[in-house]
Amino acid sequence: MMPREDFVSRFGGVFEHSPFIAERAYDAGHVTEPLTAAGVHAALAAIFRAASPQERLGVLCAHPDLAGRLAISGDLTEDSRKEQSGAGLDRLSPAEHARFTELNSAYVEKFGFPFIIAVKGLGKDDILSAFETRIGNDRDEEFATATAQVERIALLRLASMLPEAQ
C-alpha cells in the first residue's frame, strides 16, 4: 500500500485545498489497492459526505470564483487553471467578464460560498446559463448542488490521474 504521506501528497488536492479528506480516508482504511479513479473517489467522497457542515462549507469556500481575481492574477491551482481554461473562461470579453464578476458577487453574498460547477465539457455560455439558473435556488438546495459539483470535479480530476479498474 502507498505510504500515507505519498497518498496525501498525490490526492490531497483533489478536493480543492482540503488535504484533510485524503488524510481521513487513508487513516480510516477506506483506500485499497489497486488505486482506481472510482475507488479513490468513493473513499474520498465518503469522508467529504461525513464531514461536518462547517467542514464541507470550508471545502466549498476553498474553490475559486469562476473567471475571478485568482484567475486574473494567475493564482489558481493548476487543476483549476486547466479546468477554467478548457471552458474558455480565460478568454472572456470585457462584457462577459463583467457579468461573471457581477454574478460571482451576488452568489457569494446570497449563499456564503463561491459558485461551483464542474466545467469540463461546458462552454462559457453553458456555465453562465447554469449560474443564472442556480442563483435562484434557496441555500439548502444550492449547498447540495455545490457539494455534488465538488464531488464531480474530484472524480474528473481522479480520472485524469488514475486508471479505471480492468
Give the CATH number, domain containing residue 126: 1.10.3330.10
- pTM reported for the whole predicted model: 0.90
- Check residues 10 and 78 and name the one with the higher pLDDT: 10
- Interval 87-127: pLDDT, tens: 788 888 889 989 999 999 999 999 999 999 998 899 999 99
Between CA 68 and CA 72, with CA 70 as vertex, the angle to 5 degrees is 70
Residue 165 has pLDDT above 60, yes or no: no
Residue 74 has pLDDT above 80, yes or no: no
**102 assigned to some structural domain:** yes
Give the total number of structural domains in the chain. 1
The mean pLDDT value for 149-164 works out to 93
Residue 1 has pLDDT above 50, yes or no: yes
Choose among 68, 13, 90: nearest CA to 44.
13
Q: DSSP assignment of 88-123, as one string?
A: TTTS--HHHHHHHHHHHHHHHHHHSS------TT--
**22 assigned to some structural domain:** no
68: confidence class by pLDDT, cuts 50, 70, 90: low
**17 included as an active-site residue:** no
Catalytic residue, candidates 17, 30, 41, 63:
63
Choose among 162, 151, 163: nearest CA to 21.
151
With b meaning 16 or more CB within 10 Å and e meaning fewer, what string describes 56-91?
bbebbebbbbbbbebbeeeebeebbbebbeebbbee
**38 assigned to some structural domain:** no
